[in-house]
């Protein structure tokens, strides 16, 4: 069964068409990266899948149309880590991660010991247990990103949506976070749909890539099929050289020869 199946997704915001009939299929257990130039609609696509904005078209998650899912049901199937989540002042890491259990806490109720156990298990898995009582706001960027991830994992949802999960991180922490996501995907059989900025890194981790441009799918397939000099030149307006790496193609920007000094 596919984790996600989207057909003809259209999103209009303030009169502008952001997504114009996007088809996207993600098989269970797969890591699919959504790439594309700024304004291509990557984040909007993720928000549409996550149910955060109204979208026309058909989206089904693990075989169920999202229209037939309540908000709580959807929250048990899909967890989202936004690009730069709000860091609430004064909130401790454990309390933040516990909020991930919201879809399981009865309305107007409180967390059970099972919820607490789930949050602790995630903290341990992500090597965050030392920070449990620390204030989230006092952590470094890489640590915070792990906490955001922990909150999403505590949700226990099999489909994980990550919007630019490594934007604010240095190269070492980028790898650390993505290795972690990859490990979790294998351990827990998660499916990952992530928008990614860095094309080489996206190619290293993703099974498949979808290139969005102007609200439409411009190309999709394996990293080797999508990360080509022609496609990147056409849709990003970028001069790049694509080099064969160990796990996939590496994209290297090159300076224009015409303007050489």
To other proteins, the closest distance from the beta carbon of 82 in angstroms equals: 5
Q: Is 177 helix (H, G, I), strand (E, B) or coil?
A: helix
**Of the candidate residues 22, 79, 150, 219, the single one contacting other proteins (CB under 8 A):** 79
Binding map of other proteins across residues 47-66, x = CB under 8 A, - = no contact: x--xxx--------------
For residue 12, the cross-strand partners are 17
For residue 105, the 8-state DSSP code is S
Binding-site size, other proteins (CB under 8 A): 40
Place of tokens 């056409």: 234
Distance from chain centroid for Cα 175? 15
* 86 near other proteins (CB under 8 A): yes
Task: For residue 49, give the nearest of 22, 31, 29 by alpha carbon.
Answer: 22
Please report how close the Cβ of residue 44 comes to other proteins at its closest, in angstroms: 12
90 vs 260, beta carbon nearer other proteins: 90
CB crowding 187-218: b at 16 or more within 10 Å, else e: eeebbbbbbbbbbbbbbbbbbbbbbbbebebb
Q: Which is nearer to other proteins, 76 or 173 (CB)?
A: 76
Nearer to other proteins, 132 or 218 (CB): 132
For residue 16, state whether it binds other proteins (rule: CB under 8 A). no
Question: How many residues does the structure list for the chain?
Answer: 261
- Residue 235 binds other proteins, judged by CB under 8 A: no
Site string for other proteins, 139-168 (x = CB under 8 A): ------------x---x-------------
Minimal distance, residue 235 CB to other proteins, in Å: 27
Complex with other proteins: residue 149 or 242, whichever CB lies closer? 149
Q: Which of 20, 23, 95, 182 binds other proteins (CB under 8 A)?
A: 95
Q: Quote the DSSP letter at residue 52.
A: S
Query: How many other CB atoms are found less than 10 A from the CB of residue 28?
Result: 14
Q: What is the per-residue DSSP string for 191-216?
A: EEEEE-S-HHHHHHH-SEEEEEETTE
Between CA 206 and CA 33 the distance in angstroms is 6
Tell me if 182 contacts other proteins by CB under 8 A.
Answer: no
Residue closer to other proteins (CB basis): 52 or 218: 52
- Binding test (CB under 8 A) with other proteins, winner from 27, 28, 92, 238: 92
- At CA 229, angle to CA 24 and CA 202, rounded to 5? 50
Binding site for other proteins (CB under 8 A): 14, 47, 50-52, 70-76, 78-80, 82, 85-86, 88-92, 94-96, 99-100, 102-103, 105, 108-110, 120, 129, 132-133, 151, 155
């Amino acid at each position: 069964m596919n984790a996600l199946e989207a057909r003809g997704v259209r999103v209009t915001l303030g009169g502008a068409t952001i997504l114009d009939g996007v088809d996207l299929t993600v098989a269970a257990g797969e890591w699919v990266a959504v790439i594309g130039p700024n304004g291509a609609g990557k984040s909007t696509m993720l928000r549409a899948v996550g149910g955060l904005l109204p979208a026309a078209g058909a989206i089904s998650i693990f075989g169920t149309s999202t229209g037939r899912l309540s908000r709580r049901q959807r929250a048990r199937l899909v967890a989202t880590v936004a690009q730069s989540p709000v860091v609430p002042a004064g909130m401790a890491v454990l309390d933040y991660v516990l909020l991930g259990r919201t879809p399981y806490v009865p309305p107007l109720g409180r967390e059970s010991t099972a919820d607490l156990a789930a949050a602790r298990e995630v903290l341990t898995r992500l090597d965050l247990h030392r920070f449990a009582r620390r204030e989230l706001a006092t952590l470094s960027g890489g640590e915070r990103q792990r906490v955001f991830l922990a909150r999403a994992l505590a949700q226990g949802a099999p489909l994980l949506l990550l919007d630019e999960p490594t934007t604010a991180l240095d190269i070492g922490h980028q790898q650390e976070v993505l290795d972690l996501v990859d490990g979790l995907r294998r351990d827990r059989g998660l499916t990952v749909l992530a928008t990614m900025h860095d094309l080489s890194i996206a190619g290293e981790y993703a099974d498949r890539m979808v290139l969005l441009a102007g609200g439409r799918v411009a190309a999709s397939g394996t990293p080797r099929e999508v990360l080509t000099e022609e496609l990147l030149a056409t849709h990003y307006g970028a001069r790049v050289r694509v080099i064969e790496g160990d796990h996939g193609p590496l994209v290297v920007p090159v300076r224009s020869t015409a303007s050489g000094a």
